């Protein structure tokens, strides 16, 4: 089979980069495509194109209503092409086809939502405390946006950045991860087909140390929207010391799932599986710490073990597959290291902890459950693994469950399973995380803000307010008196 070739999308044109790199199919471990590695010079051209489009030309002149229509058209195109994009994402990242198809079809709704909002983000009239003045506040696009995304859920993670940015009138340079960029480079064709003016949306891929660094520190970039790991986030913040760009960070987590003895245990077990084994655990909201009431621990663990061992591992392009490979060998090596250290430090392996047999070459890792034996210092309890590894800790009382849930520097997501409404509300109040799911897990919507506390990040994506983060207010003062300006030496 011939090797697929992908191109960057800069200033309305698809272009080859002088340098390319192989992209690996994680289900086989073999190279299947060549990707363009954008250089710092390519980034400069993309940012300059975005800056020109922001200042003059069809995008700058477009009404908010017209921008909204373009976004809705883009949403429709994403839905119409969801199967093709899904196959590419599955090929390039190993994420199973049944999730990529459903998730990408839903991504269309994010563009439609922000398309609908484009002309509803109103400014305001201030009832100013000076009789001879009128003041209006204009929300203006903040400027050129650098959107940097990782390889997991990348069409989704791009939509929550591009949707509000474009609705607000910003222009964007989107950097796809060097791991699995195929679906975003293919998505660029839909941006083009939708009719976005040249320069308004630019999509490229390349490596973090040059392409990512140049993009996020570029002097013409006013806004950085990042999703990825905490170490890279720190680097991004250092980069933005150069341009002082307004920055939001959507990072990882060590999200707790609290199961009380009064919960519907079978439903809770399904949710725990959804939280840690869906997407092979490669989700920022992965429910990687199970906190279970001691009186039901053994029963609950037996159910979970049964469900974990029944998961169909296999070819991610097969719709029957429930768990595919990890995206990169780097991920698998990190997971293996943390699991080994956790078992050496006293964790008890309930199931998994190995590469499953029969998938030679692929980057597979078995669904793994480790009973921490009340040791909350184990590496698997503390570190984000970004893989299918669940750590289990028992608790005896509600206050202890809450303390354990909050015993992490992260604070992205959480789940609480109970049939006691009052207890559910108390836990929702007490948990330090941006999302609390009660009797459910890993539910998302364009209507709902999403983001973290603490080391899980800064700012919110999704929902109405996200547009505000892509605008800045301009206050316009109009003096309505015909009289001469009084005393010029006194502030008015």
Ligand X SMILES: CN(C=O)/C=C(\CC(=O)O)C(=O)O
Q: Please report, as ranges, the residues that interact with ligand X according to CB under 6 A.
A: 152-153, 156-157, 227, 279, 283-285, 442, 444, 450
Pick the binder of ligand NAI from 178, 293, 371, 461 (CB under 6 A): 178
Cα separation, 7 vs 432, whole angstroms: 42
Cα separation, 135 vs 476, whole angstroms: 5
Nearer to ligand X, 91 or 460 (CB): 460
Look up residue 152 and give its DSSP letter. T
Residue 148 touches which of ligand X, ligand NAI, none (Cβ within 5-8 Å per kind): ligand NAI
Q: Minimum CB separation from ligand X for residue 304, in Å?
A: 19
Look at the alpha carbons of 22, 23, 24, 25 in this order and tell me if their dihedral is positive or negative: negative
Interface with ligand NAI (CB under 6 A), residue total 28
H-type alpha helices, 259-328: 265-276, 294-309
- Which of 477, 468, 465 minimizes the C-alpha distance to 126? 477
Q: Which of residues 315-354 bind ligand NAI (CB under 6 A)?
A: 331
Nearer to ligand X, 110 or 246 (CB): 110
Residue 384 touches which of ligand X, ligand NAI, none (Cβ within 5-8 Å per kind): ligand NAI
Cα separation, 197 vs 67, whole angstroms: 10
Question: DSSP letters along 421-440, please?
Answer: HHHHHHHHHH--SS--EES-
Q: Minimum CB separation from ligand X for residue 450, in Å?
A: 4
Tokens 């489009």 identify what position?
53
Shortest-Cβ-distance residue relative to ligand X? 283
Q: Does 71 bind ligand NAI (CB under 6 A)?
A: no
Number of C-beta neighbours around residue 147 at 10 A: 25
Q: Which of residues 380-399 bind ligand NAI (CB under 6 A)?
A: 384, 386
Which residue among the candidates 250, 293, 384, 461 is catalytic per the annotation?
A: 250
Number of C-beta neighbours around residue 75 at 10 A: 25
Nearer to ligand X, 62 or 433 (CB): 433
β-sheet with 124-126: strand ranges across: 124-126, 133-141, 471-479
Q: Which two tokens stand for residue 347?
A: 């964790």
Mask: binding to ligand NAI, 413-432, rule CB under 6 A, as x and -? --------------------
- Which of 212, 185, 215, 192 minimizes the C-alpha distance to 13? 192
Q: Minimum CB separation from ligand X for residue 390, in Å?
A: 15
Element (H, E) at 21: strand 20-25
> Is there a catalytic annotation at residue 250?
yes
Tokens 């991504």 identify what position?
107
Q: Minimum CB separation from ligand NAI for residue 318, in Å?
A: 25
Residue 228 touches which of ligand NAI, ligand X, none (Cβ within 5-8 Å per kind): ligand NAI
Given a contact cutoff of 8 angstroms between Cβ atoms, the answer to whether 250 and 461 are in contact is yes
Q: Minimum CB separation from ligand X for residue 331, in Å?
A: 13
Mask: binding to ligand NAI, 136-175, rule CB under 6 A, as x and -? ------------xxxxx----------------------x
Cα separation, 270 vs 247, whole angstroms: 36
Q: Minimum CB separation from ligand NAI for residue 38, in Å?
A: 10
Would you name the residues annotated as active-site residues?
250
Residues in contact with ligand NAI by CB under 6 A are 148-152, 175, 177-179, 208-209, 212-213, 216, 227-229, 232, 235-236, 239, 250-252, 284, 331, 384, 386
């Amino acid at each position: 089979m011939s090797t697929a070739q992908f191109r960057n999308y800069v200033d309305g044109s698809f272009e080859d980069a002088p340098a390319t790199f192989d992209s690996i199919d994680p289900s086989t471990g073999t190279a299947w495509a060549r990707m363009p590695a954008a250089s710092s010079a390519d980034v400069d051209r993309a940012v300059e194109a975005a800056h020109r489009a922001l200042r003059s030309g069809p995008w700058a002149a477009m009404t908010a209503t017209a921008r909204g229509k373009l976004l809705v058209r883009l949403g429709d195109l994403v839905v119409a092409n969801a199967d093709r994009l899904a196959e590419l994402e599955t090929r390039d990242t190993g994420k199973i086809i049944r999730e990529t198809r459903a998730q990408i079809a839903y991504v269309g709704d994010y563009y439609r939502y922000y398309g609908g909002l484009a002309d509803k983000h109103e400014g305001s009239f201030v009832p100013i405390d000076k009789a001879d003045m009128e003041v209006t506040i204009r929300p203006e696009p903040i400027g050129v946006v650098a959107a940097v995304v990782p390889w997991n859920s990348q069409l989704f993670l791009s939509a929550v950045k591009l949707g509000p940015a474009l609705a607000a009138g910003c222009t964007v340079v989107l950097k796809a991860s060097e791991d699995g960029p195929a679906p975003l480079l293919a998505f660029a064709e839909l941006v083009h087909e939708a009719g976005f003016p040249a320069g308004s949306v630019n999509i490229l891929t390349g490596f973090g140390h040059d392409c990512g660094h140049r993009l996020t520190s570029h002097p013409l970039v006013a806004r950085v929207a990042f999703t990825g790991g905490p170490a890279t986030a720190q680097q991004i913040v250092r980069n933005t010391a150069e341009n002082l760009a307004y920055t939001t960070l959507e990072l990882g987590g060590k999200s707790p799932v609290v199961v009380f003895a009064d919960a519907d245990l079978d439903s809770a077990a399904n949710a725990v599986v959804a939280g840690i084994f869906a997407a092979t655990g490669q989700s920022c909201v992965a429910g990687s710490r199970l906190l279970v009431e001691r009186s039901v621990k053994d029963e609950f663990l037996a159910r979970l073990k049964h469900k974990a061992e029944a998961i169909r591992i296999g070819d991610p392009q097969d719709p029957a597959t429930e768990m595919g490979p990890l995206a990169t060998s780097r991920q698998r090596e990190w997971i293996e290291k943390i699991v080994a250290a956790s078992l050496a430090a006293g964790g008890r392996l309930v199931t998994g902890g190995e590469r499953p047999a029969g998938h030679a070459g692929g980057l597979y890792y078995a669904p793994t459950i480790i009973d921490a034996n009340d040791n909350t210092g184990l590496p698997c309890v503390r570190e984000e693994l970004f893989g299918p590894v669940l750590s289990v800790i028992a608790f005896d009382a509600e206050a202890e469950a809450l303390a354990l849930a909050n015993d992490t520097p992260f604070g992205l997501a959480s789940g609480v399973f109970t049939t006691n409404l009052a207890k559910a509300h108390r836990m929702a109040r007490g948990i330090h995380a941006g999302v609390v799911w009660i009797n459910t897990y890993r539910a998302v919507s364009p209507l709902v803000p999403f983001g973290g506390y603490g080391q899980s990040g800064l700012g919110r994506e999704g929902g109405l307010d996200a547009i505000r983060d892509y605008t800045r207010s301009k206050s316009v003062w109009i003096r309505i008196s015909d009289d001469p300006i009084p005393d010029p030496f006194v502030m008015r």
